Amino acid sequence: MESVLFSIDQLSHRYADDTIALKSLSLTIKQGKKIALLGNNGAGKSTLFLHLNGILQPTSGKIYFKGKEVAYNRKALLSLRRQVGIVFQDPDSQLFSASVIQDISFGPKNLGLSNEKVLERVEWAMEQTETAVLKDKPTHFLSLGQKKRVAIAGVLAMDPEVIILDEPTAGLDAYYSKQIMNVLNIIQKQQKTIILSTHDVNLAYEWADEVVVMHDGEVLCHSDPVTVFQQEEIIKKAHLDTPWVMEMFQALVEGKVISSDEAIAQNKEELFQKIRFNNMKILQ
């Protein structure tokens, strides 16, 4: 059963200095999905995220969470933020406590849990993100990759149903990026919804169930990765690249290496398999 989590209706946002960040954007987000948000710098991704957490209020339009309109009184916000966690892009602005364990416990403590409960949550979150060894380290001694994992742990410890991540792999090398993506896969197995923004079209293509392309405060396209990246016009308009697996697949179809009837490869392994398969056909 796919229940609707967020339903955004004609959402517009205009900042105090009159810049318009979102232009009557409508979007539906279903439970348990892995959603990638693509778009260039300044497309409005971060503004949208801040709305999903109730930090910004719409200039016009409405946001429904689990069918109820989002309200902005203290009690409603408390309940919304308990269920929706955001991991921000710059971990330096997210980690504000002196030590790792203090930082991870910031959220659960604010939920008013008992000390034992908080500790339980924190330990669980550290286990999921493999940050237990960093526990007593001061946050400013961590590497970027470690900081990002601690930031994720801090949100996980609040046990939200939806986790939003702003550019979780930006600035990380391949090794740490994979580590982060592994953490996300573990989380997703627990039926949590994950929404992330990224510049990495290859990551989005291979990882996401759904891809949302944003440009200039609007949603250009929202569908499964293959459908989205086949729309060349949209990809060009949003200044995106085509994922190389897809580009390669198309080149191989054109080059008659892969038959044009074959389903498009969704990741590197599938592509390699198709090439091996072609080879076997030739040998036969």
Partner 1 sequence: MLREIIKKSFIILYFSILLVFIPKQAFAMHIMEGFLPIEWAIFWWGVTLPSLIIGLRSIRKKVTEHPELKMMLGLSGAFAFVLSALKIPSVTGSCSHPTGVGLGTVLFGPTAMSVIGFIVLLFQSLLLAHGGLTTLGANAFSMAVVGPLIAYFVYKGAKKVGFSFAISVFLAAALADLGTYVVTSFQLALAFPSEAGGIAGSFAKFSSIFALTQIPLAISEGILTVIIMNVLTKY
Partner 2 sequence: MLLIDKYAYFNRLKHVHPVEKVIFSLCLLLFVIIAKDSFLSLIIFIVMSAFTVLAAGIPFKYYIKLLLLPIFFLLSGVVTILLSFADGQVIVSNCIWSAHIGSWQVYISEKSVEQVGNLVAVVLSSISCLYFLTLTTPLTAILHVLQKVKLPLLFIELVALTYRFIFVFLDEAANIYQSQSSRLGYVTVRQGIKSLGLLVTVLFLKVFQRTTQLTIAMNSRGYEEQMLFFEQSYRYSLINWLIIGGVFTGMAVVYIQFGGSL
User: Per CB under 8 A, does 129 bind partner 2?
Assistant: no
Work out the angle between the directed axes of helices 144-156 and 115-129 (0-180°, nearest 10): 140
State the binding partner of 78 from partner 1, its own copies, partner 2, none, CB within 5 to 8 A by kind. partner 2
User: Among residues 71, 98, 133, 251, which is the contact residue for partner 1, using CB under 8 A?
Assistant: 98
Decide if residue 53 touches partner 2 (CB under 8 A).
yes
> Nearer to its own copies by C-beta: 71 or 171?
171
Tokens of 85: 């966690």
Q: Which of 11, 34, 36, 94 binds partner 2 (CB under 8 A)?
A: 94
Instruction: Choose, by CB under 8 A, the member of 34, 81, 222, 274 that binds partner 2.
Output: 81
Identity of the residue, 68 or 268, whose beta carbon is nearer to its own copies in the bound complex: 268
138 near partner 1, judged by CB under 8 A: yes
Among 167, 195, 215, 220, the residue binding its own copies under the rule CB under 8 A is: 167
Can you tell me which of 101, 194, 214, 238 binds partner 2, judged by CB under 8 A?
A: 101
Count of positions on this chain that bind its own copies (CB under 8 A):
36
Residues that bind its own copies in the complex, under the rule CB under 8 A:
40-42, 143-145, 167, 170-176, 199, 201, 239-241, 244, 247-248, 251-252, 254-257, 268, 271-272, 275-276, 278-279, 282
